Amino acid sequence: MRLRVNMTCTRRSFTALVFTTVGLTIALPAAQRGAPPPVPPGPPLPTPAILQAYQPVTAERLLKPSDGDWLMIRRTYDGWGYSPLDQITTSNAARLQPVWVFSTGVPNGHEAPPLVNNGVMFVATPGNQVIAIDAKSGRLLWRYRRPIPEDAVTLHPTSRGVALYGDKVFVAANEAVLVALDARTGKEVWTADVAENQNGYYMSLAPLVAEGRVMVGTSGGELGIRGFVAAYDAETGRPVWKTYTVPAPGEPGSETWPKGNQWKTGGGSIWVTANYDPDTHLAFWGTGNGGPWMGDQRPGDNLYTSSTVAIDVRTGRISGHHQYHPNDSWDWDEVSPPILVDYQRNGRTVKGLIDVARDGYLWFLERSAGPIAFVQGVPYVKQNVFRSLDPKTGRPDVDPARKPGTGKRADNICPSHWGGKNWPPIAFSPKTRMIYIPANENLCDTITGAKVAYEPGSRFIGATTALLLAPGADHVGEVQAWNVDTGMRVWTHTYPGSINWGSMLATGGGLVFSGGTDDRKLHAFDAATGAVVWEFPTNSGIIGPAASYIVDGKQYIAVQSGWGIDSRGMQARLNTLTRGAYPEVPEGGAIWVFAVP
């Protein structure tokens, strides 16, 4: 602009401009050389009052959040996905209406819940974006976008949420960079390089904050990574510890790997945020399958793949583990962490862990300050790979006919490689004593293994799959409710004609909220009976978790709508298999907020 003004001036002034400009350019660093003259910054916009009054998120608030806040992705460290709010009930939910909607401006799968701190909402979207919004009005407060390198390796280009602590917002950027933002401005405070993205490490999880540390792990199990969890100082971003989910030779668990170099590319990705027990300082992380997919290329149990590992957040030490199935060959990443629920068994209270695993089993475990003990395992969808479980350890006896290998095809494997449930989290209601499971029933696979060579940053899978519908299948998507004290299923809602990728929310109003279906609806169920009490079709399919919060004494339900990634993949495969019964779901993200008028 200034140059254009000067061009209309005299030759002398232009000559002066040229020399001034040249001199200025030479003085600039190389990276800035050639940039047009900077426009003087105007005065900064005033910080909105709601952000001026921003209430820092203390450790105490994370441990005991007020009923009206949703401060972490599952609201509480135990992973329940439960809001005690009870203004919206089975009696009035039918009158729920949209209050505001906000377009995220990006496509692909929106897998993050809105977090709400004292009326300020923070939402992560695909594309390394975080949006701060006035949770009552829907007014934009700030927007952070971090450009993703053009050639970044991000096979699941999404974010499963942000974390809050102090006056910061933490987000795991896809290219494996941990970012701390100023909650009041959205400006970067610090960044930390977590891993080398070009070697296949990328991030899609929400960070976990506990005891002053910010913890993340990386995806990349299809790219020959060696999984890990790493902790950073929340204030400075300084690395604190790093613990691999695949041990190096000589480390505990290394005896479950062959003598070669398989451990270096052994997988064990960290896809999803851990749940945390403040009494024992242990975080319970779910780990991905071994890499490459065929277990005969890495003989042994392959600890700690397809497991839950208990890691001390202070030291990074692994205190215990439970491996759901050794030597995975089915792509059953056990991505979800177990939730922490104390339940009744045989007349005693078990300090429990409950995990709804991708391998098709519902696992009841017992936590402690150290080891994790097996209590019970029961299939919740068709499962024909495990012939039985060891009654003491839970170790499955695998049917060899259902285990693919290198150059070996295994037919009719149930559940499919997507699992009976994938990453979308379950919820638990302490009122009903039930967990709520988003399941996909009747889907099976044929898997054929193949040799594969490792090349950094490239696919390291070595398998092809063919999806099958179980004979006589009349539906795929389900919501299941199980009583944790009896270990019995209470109700099942089926979605004829739709898959289910819906994360679960339970509320004190006796409701369960979930999307997940290809009709783009958010559904509300009676938590006790499974009766559908309300549905609303949004712009796209809903796979992200819903959250509930209060502003000015009024309860709201918030959720992102934005179909994509694996839900899109399953939908497309089924559409081909059924010759058009599962049509494409419209994509494009939006944040929806509902309330009873």
Partner 1 sequence: MLTNRRTVLQSAAGVVLAWMTPVPLAAQDARASRPAAGDLLVSTGDTTFTPLTPDDIPMDDTPTIAWCMTPNDRVVRNGSRLNRVLLVRLDPETISEATRALSANGVVAYSAICTHSGCDVGSWLPDEQVLYCECHESKFDPRDAARVADGPAPRSLPALPLTLVDGRLVVAGPFTSRVGFEG
Residue 83, amino acid: S
Residue closer to partner 1, measured from CB, 403 or 573: 573
Contacting range for partner 1; rule: CB under 8 A; set: 10-18, 224-232, 499-507, 510-518? 10-18
Residue 307, amino acid: S
Q: How far apart are CA 171 and CA 115, in angstroms?
A: 12
For 227, the token pair is: 């999984």
Q: How far is the CB of 566 from partner 1 (least distance, A)?
A: 7
Residue closer to partner 1, measured from CB, 11 or 348: 11
Contacting range for partner 1; rule: CB under 8 A; set: 353-361, 366-374, 459-467, 509-517? 459-467
Q: How far is the CB of 28 from partner 1 (least distance, A)?
A: 10
Q: Give yes or no for residue 272 binding partner 1 (CB under 8 A).
A: no
User: 531: Cβ–Cβ under 8 A, 6 or more apart, which residues?
Assistant: 525
Residue 348, amino acid: R
Interstrand relation of 318-323 and 339-345 (parallel, antiparallel or unpaired) = unpaired
Task: Tell me, by CB under 8 A, how many residues bind partner 1.
Answer: 47
For 458, the token pair is: 């490239």
Q: Give yes or no for residue 203 binding partner 1 (CB under 8 A).
A: no
Q: Give yes or no for residue 368 binding partner 1 (CB under 8 A).
A: no
Q: Which of 143, 314, 382, 459 binds partner 1 (CB under 8 A)?
A: 459
Q: Segment 85-144, which members bind partner 1 (CB under 8 A)?
A: 106-108, 126-127
Q: Which of 112, 192, 389, 565 binds partner 1 (CB under 8 A)?
A: 565
User: HSE of 159 in the Cβ direction (CA atoms, 13 Å)?
Assistant: 36
Q: Which of 76, 465, 514, 548 binds partner 1 (CB under 8 A)?
A: 465
Angle (CA) 182 126 424, round 5° = 105
Q: How far apart are CA 381 and CA 36, in angstroms?
A: 62
Residue closer to partner 1, measured from CB, 467 or 528: 467
Q: Which of 473, 412, 408, 488 is nearest to 440 (CA)?
A: 473
Residue closer to partner 1, measured from CB, 240 or 570: 570
For 226, the token pair is: 């060696």
Q: Give yes or no for residue 576 binding partner 1 (CB under 8 A).
A: yes
Q: Give yes or no for residue 156 binding partner 1 (CB under 8 A).
A: yes
Interstrand relation of 115-117 and 120-125 (parallel, antiparallel or unpaired) = antiparallel
DSSP label at residue 264: G
H or E element, residue 512: strand 511-514
For residue 324, say if its preceding peptide bond is cis, omega within 30 degrees of 0: no
Q: How far is the CB of 594 from partner 1 (least distance, A)?
A: 26
Over the window 29 to 68, marking each residue x when it contacts partner 1 by CB under 8 A and - when it does not, the resulting string is ----xxxx--------------------------------
Q: How far is the CB of 157 from partner 1 (least distance, A)?
A: 5
Q: How far is the CB of 326 from partner 1 (least distance, A)?
A: 23
For residue 415, say if its preceding peptide bond is cis, omega within 30 degrees of 0: yes
Q: Which of 59, 101, 378, 467 binds partner 1 (CB under 8 A)?
A: 467
Q: How far apart are CA 309 and CA 319, in angstroms?
A: 8
Over the window 343 to 362, marking each residue x when it contacts partner 1 by CB under 8 A and - when it does not, the resulting string is --------------------
Q: Which of 550, 540, 551, 530 is nearest to 586 (CA)?
A: 540
Q: Which of 75, 226, 358, 568 binds partner 1 (CB under 8 A)?
A: 568
Q: Give yes or no for residue 401 binding partner 1 (CB under 8 A).
A: no
Q: Segment 219-238, which members bind partner 1 (CB under 8 A)?
A: 222
Q: How far apart are CA 534 and CA 596, in angstroms?
A: 12
Q: How far apart are CA 535 and CA 555, in angstroms?
A: 18
Contact 194, 216 (CB under 8 A): yes
Q: How far is the CB of 312 from partner 1 (least distance, A)?
A: 34
Q: Which of 25, 103, 236, 349 binds partner 1 (CB under 8 A)?
A: 25
Q: How far is the CB of 561 from partner 1 (least distance, A)?
A: 15
Q: CA–CA distance from 75 to each of 111, 353, 430, 545 (Å)?
A: 15, 17, 14, 11
Q: Give yes or no for residue 14 binding partner 1 (CB under 8 A).
A: yes
Q: Give yes or no for residue 539 binding partner 1 (CB under 8 A).
A: no
Residue closer to partner 1, measured from CB, 78 or 445: 445
Residue closer to partner 1, measured from CB, 176 or 437: 176
Active site residue 134: no
Q: Which of 78, 301, 331, 355 is catalytic?
A: 331
Residue closer to partner 1, measured from CB, 131 or 230: 131
Q: How far apart are CA 353 and CA 79, in angstroms?
A: 10
H or E element, residue 315: none
Q: Which of 135, 111, 115, 122 is nearest to 70 (CA)?
A: 115
Q: Give yes or no for residue 295 binding partner 1 (CB under 8 A).
A: no
Q: Give yes or no for residue 591 binding partner 1 (CB under 8 A).
A: no
* Cβ atoms < 10 Å from Cβ of 242: 14
* Cβ atoms < 10 Å from Cβ of 150: 5
Q: How far is the CB of 13 from partner 1 (least distance, A)?
A: 10
Q: Give yes or no for residue 160 binding partner 1 (CB under 8 A).
A: no
Q: How far is the CB of 466 from partner 1 (least distance, A)?
A: 9
Q: Which of 327, 467, 304 is nearest to 405 (CA)?
A: 327
Residue closer to partner 1, measured from CB, 22 or 53: 22
Q: Give yes or no for residue 457 binding partner 1 (CB under 8 A).
A: yes
H or E element, residue 7: helix 2-7
Binding site for partner 1 (CB under 8 A): 3, 7, 11, 14, 18, 21-22, 25, 33-36, 106-108, 126-127, 150-157, 198, 222, 450, 455, 457-459, 461-465, 467, 564-566, 568-569, 571-573, 576
User: Which residues are identified as catalytic?
Assistant: 331
